[in-house]
Each structure stands twice: as C-alpha cells, then as structure tokens.
Amino acid sequence: MDKRVLGDGGPELSVVGVGCNNFGARIDAAASAAVVHAALDAGITHFDTAEMYGGGRSEEFLGAALGPRRDDVVIATKFLPRSADQPYRPGTLRDHIRSSAEGSLRRLGTDHIDLYYQHFPDADAPIEEVLEAMDELVREGKVLHIASSNFSAEQIERAAAVAADKGWARFTGTQIHWSLLSRDVEESVVPAATAVGLGVVPYFPLASGMLTGKYRRNQEFPSGSRLAGNAERASSIATDENFAKVEAFEAFAADRGHTVVELAIGWLLAQPSVASVIAGATKPEHIAANAGSVWTLSPEEVDAVAHLAR
C-alpha cells in the first residue's frame, strides 16, 4: 500500500488507516486482533486510537494485537479534554496531558507514541500550555509527532503561530470529520491546515456506513449496523437528500467498475492535503474492502464527484 508523509515533517502513513474506535466498545480483544492482523497483512501501517475509545481498552487491545510488529506501524492516539466538572487553573491541562500520555504508553505497551493528538480543543486553557506540554513529551522521546483534532481554522492558525514563535514542536497534521456527505470543512479548515503545512486525516469517510451501500431508502437498517443503534445519528444522515446522493455516487462508481466505498475513500485521497483516510472496522472483511479501495481518480472524475456531492 502507498504511504504519504503527514504534512511538513510528520510520520509516513499508509494511505488507508484503521480507526480503532470499535475496539473494546463493539468488539472484544480476539475480534480486535483479527482486524489488526488483517490490516497488517493488507499493508496498512496506520492505526488510530484514543484513550477514550472503549474506556482505554482500545489501546490495550491494539498494543496486544501488534505485539512484535509494533515497530512496523504508526500508532496514533489522543488525549481527552478536561472533564466538564474540572475547572481550569494554570497547569491543570499540562498535568492532564502528561498523565494521559503515561496512561496511553502503559496501555499500548510501548515506550513511545508515534503521533499524539489533542482530541478536542480546550475552551479555557491557552494553546501555549498545550503546546509546551506536548513539546516536553517530544523532547523526552515519549512522543515523536503531535497533531490536532477537531480544531477550527482559527485554532489551527493560532497553534501554528505559537509553536513557531516559541520554537516548540508543531502540529504536523489535523484530524477532521470529512466525507462526500459532510464537506463543510472544505471552506475554512482544510485551507487553513494546508496554509500552515498540516496534513489532513479525514475520519468517518464512509458517513457511518451510508457510503458503503448497506443502507437503502425506505428499508430498515441492518441489525448491528451503526445507524441501527443510533436514532439521533440516523435522523441526521439517513435523509432523502443523502440517499439521492449515495445513489448517484453508486451509479457513477459502477459505470467505472468500482464500488461506492472505493469512490468515497478515493475521492478524499485525491484531495491535495490528505495524507491518510481512517475507517473503522469490526471484521477482517471490512479491512479487505477498505484496503482495496484506493481508486486513483482523474482530475475530471474528482470534479464530477464533487458536483454530485453538492
């Protein structure tokens, strides 16, 4: 599988990554290991987890499944924001970040994190405190690269300016919700990230399964599927408008001998700023579908799909 460097000086990632949010939440250790091993066999080297996934079990399951293959991959994980009932005081977030990093290292069974994300911005803590704490982790060798997640354009720009001014480790990438059914980030976040040298890692590229073809208009959601268990999410995404778009995407892909999954991931990978696309999996066959979905679209096809997605 092809690899791309994340932003200016980030880690080298396989263009398709595994989102490990299902580990410890929807699947157990054995099923998680089966997904990890299928991904390794498919050439995937980018594994994305977080301390909040499965209450920490995602990191535990991933570390155990990788075993001696740990150094063959890039492990990305994220620290949680402060709890809502914890008031901010200077130094609070710094201590929280360091404690979170130590916990992730322990659960992953490793001595370093390849890519460490601030999972969500902190509304009260200055970005200076975040970057200084993460810079310390980089200098200590516990973290190799740092990144942001769910940041606005303004927050991305501010973080880049502070890191440059202080001479601290800088974010090399940003993770955002981006798919053919969710394109609002294209107006501000993606241009801001590109302007300051950040690579982009889209998550939810298959729109909770809408872009897999598993859901059909006026039919019940398959048992065990993501939308079957989330009425709020289903009402916001399984709309007539989105079903019409998915049907157009399916027809476009089929005319060219491809699936809608291949279209969804291939279109994101055709965007200049995108380094890797992460998609969750609960079964090895999901990995096979995702790993085989690297369709290199022509510029004309990229534009045509964007028109269908309006």
For 1-16, how does the pLDDT look when each residue is reduced to its tens digit (9 = 90+)?
A: 999 999 999 999 999 9
More confident residue, 41 or 85: 41
Cβ neighbours, 10 Å, residue 112 = 18
pLDDT at 83: 78
Chain mean pLDDT for the chain? 95
The span from the CA of 235 to the CA of 237, in Å, is 6
pLDDT given at position 17: 97
Q: Which domains does the chain have, with CATH numbers?
A: 3-308 (3.20.20.100)
Convert the pLDDT of each residue in 122-133 to its tens digit. 988 999 999 999
Averaged over 60-69, what is the pLDDT? 98
- Which residues form the catalytic set? 53
Distance CA 305, CA 302 (A): 5
Confidence label for 309 from pLDDT (cuts 50, 70 and 90): very high
DSSP the chain: --EEE-TTT--EEESEEEE-TTBTTTB-HHHHHHHHHHHHHTT--EEE--TTGGGGHHHHHHHHHHGGGGGGSEEEEEEPPPPTTS---TTHHHHHHHHHHHHHHHHHT-S-EEEEEE-S--SSS-HHHHHHHHHHHHHTTSEEEEEEES--HHHHHHHHHHHHHHT---EEEEEEE-BTTB-GGGTTHHHHHHHTT-EEEEE-TTGGGGGGT---TTSPPPTTSTGGG-HHHHHHHS-HHHHHHHHHHHHHHHHTT--HHHHHHHHHHTSTTB--EEEE-SSHHHHHHHHT------HHHHHHHHHHT-
pTM, full prediction: 0.94
pLDDT given at position 220: 85
pLDDT digits over 203-259, tens only? Answer: 999 998 999 988 898 888 887 787 877 777 778 888 999 999 999 999 999 999 999
Query: Which of 85-89, 99-103, 175-179, 254-258 has the lowest average pLDDT?
Result: 85-89
**46 burial level (CB within 10 Å; 0-12, 13-18, 19+):** buried
pLDDT at 268 over 90: yes
> What pLDDT score was predicted for residue 37?
97
CB 268 within 8 Å of CB 205? yes
- Alpha-carbon distance of 272 to 7, in angstroms, equals 11
Q: Is the pLDDT of residue 144 over 90?
A: yes
